[in-house]
Amino acid sequence: MPRHSLIAATAGLTVLASALTGCGFTGGQPADLQIYSARHYDLEGAFGQFTEETGISVEFISGGDAELLERLKAEGEDTPADVFMTVDAGNLWNAARQNELAAIDSAVLDQAVPEDLRDPQGRWYGLAMRARTVTYNPAKVDPAEFDAKDTYGGLTDPKWKGRLCMRDATSSYTQSLVASLIDLHGREKALKIAKGWVANDVQIMSNDVLLLEAIDAGTCDVGINNHYYLARTLAKNPDLKVDLFWASQGGSGTHVNISGAALVEGSDNPEAALRLIEWLATKGQNAFVDANHEFPVNPTVKPEPVISDFGEFKRMPLNAQAYGDLNAEAVDLLAEAGYK
Ligand code: FE
C-alpha cells in the first residue's frame, strides 16, 4: 500500500480509538502498530501524542527484555510486533545479533541519532540517553577530591574507604559500566578497579533510589547513580543533600547508556513503524524522554530543566557491541573481585 493511502486508511480508525481511550489504545480494534517494550518508563504520554499527530494507533505489550526477545523468536514471521523497544545498548545489540530486527535505511534517523548511539547496520536506534555518574553528599565531600581524569577508577583510592555506596553486581547498570571499563582499559585494569572498590568496603545497594537516600542520610558519602534517579528525587525533594559530579571529564568522559527502538523483522506495517521511530527521534523526543528526565539523543533537542541544571558533560563514546559481548566477562570479573 502506498504511504499516503496507508495513513488515510488508519486515520479514521484511530480517531475512534483515541476517543475511546484517550491515549492511543484501540479498545478492541486492532491497533496499527504493536510495540513490544522492555522500557518501563512512562510510554503512554509519548505514544498518545504520536497517535494524535499522525492518526496511527499504537498498542504496547510490556515485559522483560529476555522475555520479549524469546517471544519474538517464538512467533517468528507471525509476530504481531512491529517495533521492539528496550533499555541498554547491550540488549539492543543482542536482539540484532539474533536476527530479530530489520535494517532501516533512514536519512532522518541517521541525522537525528549520533553515530555511536545507533547500529551501523540500522537495526536499532538509541532514543533516550542516561548517564551513570558519581553522586555525593556536599556536606561530606569537596568535589575537588574526585579524580577528574578517571573518576570511577579514582574511587579505589584509600581515602574513600568506608565512604562508598554502589549498586549490586546483578544490576545491568553495574554490568554495563564494568563492561565499558573493560572496553576502555582492558580486563586487568578493570578488575583492579573493581577490587579497589571492594577493598574500600563499598556498601552494595539493591536500587538507585535507596542509594541516593543513603547519601542524603549520610550513610555513605559517594555513590554511582543513573542521573535520572537524582533528577526524579530532586523534583520531589529539592532539599536533598545529593549533588552530581560528571565523571571522568578530564579523561574518557561519563559512562552513558541508551533506550532504543528497532523495526521488528516480520512487521506487517513497516512504514508506520518507521514513522513512529523517526517521530520519537525528532519531534517526539521531549515527549519520550522528559517524563523520565532522560537526555534526548538528538543534539538539536534541549533536555528538560532539572537535568539541564546538571550542566553539559562529555560522554564516553558508547560501544554497544562491547556492552553486549563483554557482559558475561563483566559478570565474571565482578565475581572474581568479590563484588556482590
Ligand atoms: Fe532505571
DSSP 314: P
Distance from residue 296's CA to the centre of ligand 1 (Å): 16
Distance from residue 65's CA to the centre of ligand 1 (Å): 13
Distance from residue 247's CA to the centre of ligand 1 (Å): 19
Q: Is 118 a domain residue?
A: yes
Q: Is 6 a domain residue?
A: no
Q: Which domain holds residue 122?
A: 11-129+257-301
The whole-angstrom separation of Cα 123 and Cα 107 is 14
63 and 84 belong to one structural domain: yes
Distance from residue 293's CA to the centre of ligand 1 (Å): 11
Distance from residue 274's CA to the centre of ligand 1 (Å): 26
Residuewise pLDDT in 10s, the chain (340 residues):
333 333 333 332 222 233 223 344 445 678 999 999 998 777 778 999 999 999 999 998 999 999 999 999 999 999 999 999 999 999 999 999 999 999 999 999 999 999 999 999 999 999 999 999 999 999 999 999 999 999 999 999 999 999 999 999 999 999 999 999 999 999 999 999 999 999 999 999 999 999 999 999 999 999 999 999 999 999 999 999 999 999 999 999 999 999 999 999 999 999 999 999 999 999 999 999 999 999 999 999 999 999 999 999 999 999 999 999 999 999 999 999 999 9
- Give the list of residues 6+ apart from residue 218 with CB closer than 8 angstroms, or none: 137, 139, 140, 241
Distance from residue 292's CA to the centre of ligand 1 (Å): 9
Distance from residue 108's CA to the centre of ligand 1 (Å): 28
Distance from residue 328's CA to the centre of ligand 1 (Å): 21
- Give me the residue label for grid cell 543513603: 214
Half-sphere exposure of 55 (CA within 13 A, CB side): 11
The whole-angstrom separation of Cα 91 and Cα 332 is 18
Q: Is 63 a domain residue?
A: yes
CA 243 to chain centre: 21
Distance from residue 130's CA to the centre of ligand 1 (Å): 9
239 and 283 belong to one structural domain: no
220 and 96 belong to one structural domain: no
25 and 154 belong to one structural domain: no
Tell me, what amino acid is at 229?
Y
60 and 165 belong to one structural domain: no
Distance from residue 305's CA to the centre of ligand 1 (Å): 19
Q: How many domains does the chain have?
A: 2
The whole-angstrom separation of Cα 316 and Cα 114 is 13
323 and 287 belong to one structural domain: no
State which H helix or E strand residue 162 sits in.
Answer: none
Task: Assign residue 330 the CATH number of its domain.
Answer: 3.40.190.10
Q: Is 4 a domain residue?
A: no
61 and 148 belong to one structural domain: no
Q: Which three cell numbers stand for residue 149?
A: 581524569
318 and 209 belong to one structural domain: yes
- Taking the whole predicted model, whether its pTM rises above 0.75 is answered as yes
Distance from residue 78's CA to the centre of ligand 1 (Å): 32
Distance from residue 173's CA to the centre of ligand 1 (Å): 8
136 and 73 belong to one structural domain: no
147 and 245 belong to one structural domain: yes
Distance from residue 44's CA to the centre of ligand 1 (Å): 17
Q: Is 48 helix (H, G, I), strand (E, B) or coil?
A: helix
Distance from residue 208's CA to the centre of ligand 1 (Å): 8
Q: Is 2 a domain residue?
A: no
138 and 243 belong to one structural domain: yes
242 and 190 belong to one structural domain: yes
Distance from residue 209's CA to the centre of ligand 1 (Å): 10
Q: Is 249 a domain residue?
A: yes
Distance from residue 116's CA to the centre of ligand 1 (Å): 21
Distance from residue 19's CA to the centre of ligand 1 (Å): 32
